[in-house]
Amino acid sequence: MTAPQAPAPRDTDTARPALVELDHVSKYYGNIKALENVSLEVHAGEISCVLGDNGAGKSTLIKIIAGLHRHDAGTFLIEGAETTLANPRDALDRGIATVYQDLAVVPLMPVWRNFFLGSEPTKGAGPFKRLDVQLMRETTRTELLRMGIDLRDVDQPIGTLSGGERQCVAIARAVYFGAKVLVLDEPTAALGVKQSGVVLKYVAAARDAGLGVVLITHSPHHAYLVGDRFVLLKRGVMSGSHTRDSVTLDELTRQMAGGSELEELSHELERAPAPDHLGGRPVGDDTP
């Protein structure tokens, strides 16, 4: 029996500038340092994972990339050109699509309506101008199938889909509307094991379609399954930055869990010997 072969490396052109690059970026809210000297690279056909617990600065990082907040220090580059995004529409126009954890869908509207929400094609002119419903239905079905998503019916309300299916629809939508960079905010946070696997499959499909993906997560196991680069945040500061070939899952998990702090805590929590209140006799022993 021959040994299994390692998967072939993905074709990524490292000579080209990163689609998005943050170089020592900082963000302050008054005297509070939300981010300080954080660096991140996002390349086409790669997944850059940002890991951290609650309060680590992940949300602030997302808002800077998505154009919601401006950075206060450092450099933000898009395809090698220094940039300051004015607003989320500016980010979208430059090919940066962000899928937030709440997805911002209308639960009672059908899947195809949510797929085109805010960008609906029309037909006719003047008083006869109307939504091109047939085009939206057919396009939604085709684009979902292209990503490997086979929904029972694109006319069903999107609220009837599972959390994983809704995430997949959002990913397919971003790909269809020409995103170059896809930012995913904790896409597996509220999902079970099976649904998380489904979502990660489509995250990998977006990568294979040539997008640069930023995966925000608190799960090193999910990150290591698909990630090419890893940035760890702790209280707004980078506590680690690795490429896939420079770190193991065990080491990534150890750093994510706190590393030396966790070891120190384990020593503090070690069970101490029972106190001897009675001159060496076991507690509760009333023998004279």
| Residue 70 Rama label (left phi>0; alpha psi -120 to 50; beta) | beta
Question: pTM of the entire structure?
Answer: 0.80
User: For residues 48 and 38, is the Cβ–Cβ distance under 8 A?
Assistant: no
- Helices 163-176 and 133-146 pack at an angle, to 10 degrees, of 100
The CA–CA distances, whole Å, from 34 to 29, 51, 65 equal 7, 15, 14
The pLDDT tens digits for 134-151 are 999 999 999 998 888 888
Residues whose CB falls within 8 Å of the CB of residue 281, separated by 6 or more in sequence, listed in order: 287
Average pLDDT, whole number, for the chain? 85
* Per-residue confidence band for 282, with pLDDT thresholds at 50, 70 and 90: low
Does position 90 have pLDDT exceeding 90, yes or no?
yes
CA distance 204 to 189: 17
Q: Does domain 20-107+180-265 have CATH number 3.40.50.300?
A: yes
Rounded CA separation 284/56 (Å): 48
Give the three-class secondary structure for 106: coil
* Calculated CA dihedral for residues 94, 96, 102, 108, nearest 10 degrees: 60
pLDDT, tens only, 54-72: 888 899 999 999 999 999 9
